[in-house]
Structure 1
């Protein structure tokens, strides 16, 4: 059995203890360095026997400064956001203004084009002669009713007064509606100028009161009526006022 060497045992024990102490010391130094980095210089700290930080106490000024810094950052961010929003709103307003101006210019151009086209169309229309519709020629019956109606239209164009009734009653009394009637027995006949036609007009009277546009024929029924009505209007105001020989 080998002998126990007390001196060697003590030496071995001493080396192990020194290794443990070295490891512990290194850990303590690392913890202390970390605590120093995290905790501000003004903060109070306490350590245990191993050198580790037990608690950290912050002052009211430090906390207030942190809050103020955060508030300043938030305010700065809010101001920046408002500035950006204002810039965007200003840009949108400018874009809208430009769009409105462009739309107004376009509308003005379109209106000007329409007005120019309307003027050109009016000018072309004025330059081109308008073809008048040919008036349909009025047709009258070849009888007493037709003769009176045609005579009335001619009288109206020449401002000669008279009515259908006034003409009709005098025609029936003077010639019974015969356009070839002639009076060979009265004073006019004895004087060589007998009364002729529907309204028994003597040749001198017919020539004086003949209306242009009608046949120059005392026996023509329409020419005879119009000349007699023209004479009656000059002497009596209208053929309607004649109720006997005139």
Structure 2
């Protein structure tokens, strides 16, 4: 091909191309820094006893749950929750019932208030963990269920 037929690049187009490449490179280098800064500064969206200023104990879990329940209009008292937790799991957040009819059907009761997975999912309270063994999530979901079925966890005096 003769030289006269080749595309001629102007000085301005070369400069524009270099600026575009430099700008893209700078943006690519800046993204991880911006992303890391934003991600590390973002608050955790899962409520825990500690995130609400309570101890990581049964007392703290109940108090944190009561705070979340109050924010979501779920009735219940400390005494009602405590009584049911002690009966259901003796305060063991990792308690699991592998012997009753729910377990035989493949959905064992779990956690402080012995909630089966479908009930936990149906009554999960936004902002709490999706882990049924998480104390605050387990208590609030169970109390939301008890409120729907019995009016309040305070009205539950046996297996529910």
**Which category describes the TM-score, using the shorter chain as reference length?**
0.5 to 0.7
Query: Deviation at 1:183?
Result: 0.2
Partner of residue 90 from structure 2, selected from 176, 180, 189: 176
Instruction: Report the CA distance shift for 1:138/1:220 in structure 2 as closer, same or farther (over 3 A).
Output: closer
Task: Extract unaligned runs of 5+ from structure 1.
Answer: 1-136
Matched with 2:76 is 162
Deviation readout 1:111-168 (Å, 9 max, x if unpaired): xxxxxxxxxxxxxxxxxxxxxxxxxx74110000000000000000000000000000
**1:90-129 pair list within 5 angstroms:** none
Instruction: Report the Cα distance in structure 2 between the residues aligned to 1:138 and 1:190, rounded to whole angstroms.
Output: 37
Instruction: Report the CA distance shift for 1:158/1:245 in structure 2 as closer, same or farther (over 3 A).
Output: same
Between Structure 1 and Structure 2, which shows a larger proportion of helix residues?
A: 1
Query: Deviation at 1:236?
Result: 0.2
Instruction: Give RMSD over aligned pairs.
Output: 0.8
Instruction: Report the Cα distance in structure 1 between the residues aligned to 2:109 and 2:91, rounded to whole angstroms.
Output: 14
Instruction: Report the Cα distance in structure 2 between the residues aligned to 1:176 and 1:237, rounded to whole angstroms.
Output: 23
User: Could you list the runs of 4 or more consecutive aligned residues of structure 1 that deviate by over 3 angstroms after TM superposition?
Assistant: none
Per the normalisation by structure 1, the TM-score is: 0.44
Matched with 2:159 is 245
Instruction: Report the Cα distance in structure 1 between the residues aligned to 2:52 and 2:117, rounded to whole angstroms.
Output: 29
Per the normalisation by structure 2, the TM-score is: 0.68
**1:26-65 pair list within 5 angstroms:** none
User: Larger Cα Rg: Structure 1 or Structure 2?
Assistant: 1
Aligned residues: 110
Structure with higher RCO (Cα < 8 A, 6+ apart):
2
Instruction: Report the CA distance shift for 1:142/1:187 in structure 2 as closer, same or farther (over 3 A).
Output: same
Residue 125 of structure 2 corresponds to residue 211 of structure 1: yes
Instruction: Report the Cα distance in structure 2 between the residues aligned to 1:215 and 1:189, rounded to whole angstroms.
Output: 23
Partner of residue 150 from structure 1, selected from 43, 64, 69: 64
